[in-house]
Amino acid sequence: MWGRKSLPASIDHPQAGLITIKIHPQSKRMRLSFRAPACFSMTVPPGTSERALQQFIAQTEGWILRQLSKVATLESSIQNQFLFQGVPYEIVSQSILSRELYQINHHQKVIIVDAIGVSSTQRLRYVCRKEFQQLLPPLIDKYSKAMGLFPKKISIRDTKSRWGSCSSAGNISLSWRLVMAPFEVMEYIIIHELAHLKHLDHSQAFWSLVSQYCPDYNQHRYWLKINAQQLHYI
């Protein structure tokens, strides 16, 4: 008897491009997800047929097109602007006659990136990483002392689905994309991850600890939810 035909690693969609396919042993249903600017992926249960896969994609066609439309709208609205600490900054690309690869004028809300070399997107990622590296240490120090919780190690990463994480070993990772969010939102994520050093879950005790140092945490969570796509644009 012939075995079931294995699924392809990806499917080429006429509008969405390549949709990556991942078989997850714990999945009970098919799930399609999207990450800006144009990354679609599917998680499917073991034993899913390619026919069922194609049918599911056809059924979600409207959702796919809505995500692409949102990105197109976002691209046109921020083509020359960039969120920095929650505030739109104008992006100017020009030659910079110094060792620095960028300059920030906070008064005029302008970020100047060097026009020579890599793309503006790569420059903006560099700006975010550098600025986050400078902002993070005093915030970690402030809230570690206030909460009496001290991480063993801090890592700056670019995670796809999390703004931060805390391991059982006491190591904390934070996304550099948080520098695009308002300062209070960045503080919330730091408090959130430090709280995990005491409660490695999302229990009532955990949220009670978070609320002691960030009473408006629900407001900040909502901001991240509705602006996540913009923070992942670059």
Domain ranges in the chain are: 10-67, 81-231
- pLDDT attached to residue 35: 73
What is the mean predicted confidence (pLDDT) over 32-56? 84
What is the mean predicted confidence (pLDDT) over 6-10? 82
User: Which tops the pLDDT comparison, 76 or 206?
Assistant: 206
CA–CA dist 209, 141 (Å, integer) = 18
* Size of the chain in residues: 234
- Cβ contact 199:168 at 8 Å: no
8-12, 51-55, 145-149: range with lowest mean pLDDT = 8-12
- Quick one: 42 exposed, middle or buried, by C-beta within 10 A (0-12, 13-18, 19+)? buried
14-18, 44-48, 122-126: range with lowest mean pLDDT = 14-18
- pLDDT attached to residue 106: 92
- Cβ contact 164:192 at 8 Å: yes
Does residue 26 sit in helix, strand or coil? Answer: coil
Confidence of residue 118 (pLDDT cuts 50, 70, 90): low
CA–CA dist 47, 211 (Å, integer) = 44
- pLDDT attached to residue 4: 53
* CATH (one of 1.10.645.10, 3.40.50.300, 3.30.450.40, 3.30.2010.10) for 81-231: 3.30.2010.10
CA–CA dist 151, 97 (Å, integer) = 40
- pLDDT attached to residue 182: 97
Sign of the torsion formed by the C-alpha atoms of 50, 56, 61 and 64: negative
CA–CA dist 96, 120 (Å, integer) = 13
**DSSP3 helix / strand / coil % (the chain, rounded to 5):** 40, 25, 35
What is the mean predicted confidence (pLDDT) over 227-233? 84
User: Which tops the pLDDT comparison, 78 or 15?
Assistant: 15
- Residue 52's alpha-carbon distances to 42, 48, 143, 182, in angstroms, are 12, 7, 50, 43
Q: pLDDT tens digit string along 192-207? A: 999 999 999 999 999 9
Instruction: Report the mean per-residue pLDDT for the chain.
Output: 87
CA–CA dist 57, 55 (Å, integer) = 5
Confidence of residue 1 (pLDDT cuts 50, 70, 90): very low
- pLDDT attached to residue 3: 44
Confidence of residue 25 (pLDDT cuts 50, 70, 90): confident
Classify strands 102-105 and 110-114 as parallel, antiparallel or unpaired. Answer: antiparallel
What is the mean predicted confidence (pLDDT) over 72-81? 58
* Of residues 139, 137, 131, the one with CA closest to residue 176: 131
3-7, 19-23, 57-61, 79-83: range with lowest mean pLDDT = 3-7
- pLDDT attached to residue 2: 45
| Position 161 pLDDT exceeds 80 | no
| Position 175 pLDDT exceeds 60 | yes
| Position 71 pLDDT exceeds 70 | no
